[in-house]
Amino acid sequence: MLEWVFRLAGQRPTASKIRASSSGPRRRACSTLAQALARAGGLLENQADARGVYIFRFEPKDALEWPRQPVAMTKDGRVPVVYRLDMKNPTSLFVAQDFPMSNKDLMYVSNAPATQIQKFLNLLFTGLYPVLSAKQTFGF
């Protein structure tokens, strides 16, 4: 039995590390992207941007057809690759069911556009609330 670990970052409801194990003929990857998202609890509807699901991984140089020589390579000949899926596109849901997660993959889900505004307003009201409360209490 082999064990894989992949990390999650960004807007998702659970912990940042998921462990999965596999045995038998499918020892290459622990699960698919769809299974990894499900195991992580899915995307946070109000905070995650479903158009921005990214998988960061190192691939062997010959795994993809490059239009030109890759810019960066590790000492062992692997190339950093970023895959992006738009989970609002129905085609991406089919791709996610067949996209294998590999050991040490990093899945990142970007923030929804409104999240940055919400963070700013929370920060603003956190500072203003005590002032407004004191004004109302003491009549400043």
Is residue 2 helix, strand or coil?
strand
Could you tell me which residue, 59 or 24, shows the higher pLDDT?
Answer: 59
Percent of the chain scoring above 90 in pLDDT: 15
Domains recognised in the chain with CATH numbers: 2-112 (3.10.560.10)
**pTM for the model:** 0.66
pLDDT digits (tens, 9 = 90+) for 3-13: 455 566 555 55
- 112 — pLDDT class (breaks 50, 70, 90): confident
For residue 29, what are the contacts with CB-CB under 8 A and spacing of at least 6?
Answer: 4, 22, 100, 101, 102, 103
> What is the residue-wise DSSP string for 92-139?
HHHHHHH-EE-TT-EEEEEEPHHHHHHHHHHHHHHHHHHHHHHHHHHT
State pLDDT tens for residues 25-64: 444 445 888 888 888 778 877 778 888 899 999 988 888 8
